Amino acid sequence: MLLNPHAGFDLACRLREQGAPIGEVYAFISELYFRGKMAYVQAFSSPPPAVPGAVVITPGAGLLPPSTIITREQLLALAEVDIHEGEPLYREPLERDARLLSQMCLGECQFVLLGSIASAKYMDPLIECFGERLVFPGDFVGRGDMSRGGMMLRCARETRELSYIPAIGAVRRGQRPPKLPKLSRRESDPFR
Per-residue confidence (pLDDT) for residue 118, from 0 to 100: 73
Whether the CB-CB separation of 141 and 174 falls below 8 Å is answered with yes
Q: Which of 33, 63, 149 is nearest to 53 (CA)?
A: 63
Per-residue confidence (pLDDT) for residue 190, from 0 to 100: 47
Residues 6+ apart with CB under 8 A from 90: 59, 60, 81, 82, 83, 84, 121
Does this model's pTM top 0.95? My answer is no
Q: What distance in Å separates the CA atoms of residue 56 and residue 144, rounded to the nearest whole number?
A: 19
CB neighbourhood size of 15 (10 A): 24
Pairing status of strand 69-70 against strand 20-21? antiparallel
Q: What is the pLDDT of residues 106-159, one digit of tens each?
A: 877 899 999 887 788 888 999 999 999 999 998 888 877 788 888 999 999 999
Nearest-5° Cα angle at 30, 26 to 32: 120
- Roughly what angle, to the nearest 10 degrees, separates helices 22-30 and 32-44? 130
Residue 44 exposed, middle or buried by CB count within 10 Å (0-12, 13-18, 19+): middle
Give the start-to-end residue ranges of the domains of the chain. 10-188
Per-residue confidence (pLDDT) for residue 186, from 0 to 100: 53
Residues of the chain with pLDDT under 50: 189-192
Per-residue confidence (pLDDT) for residue 180, from 0 to 100: 62
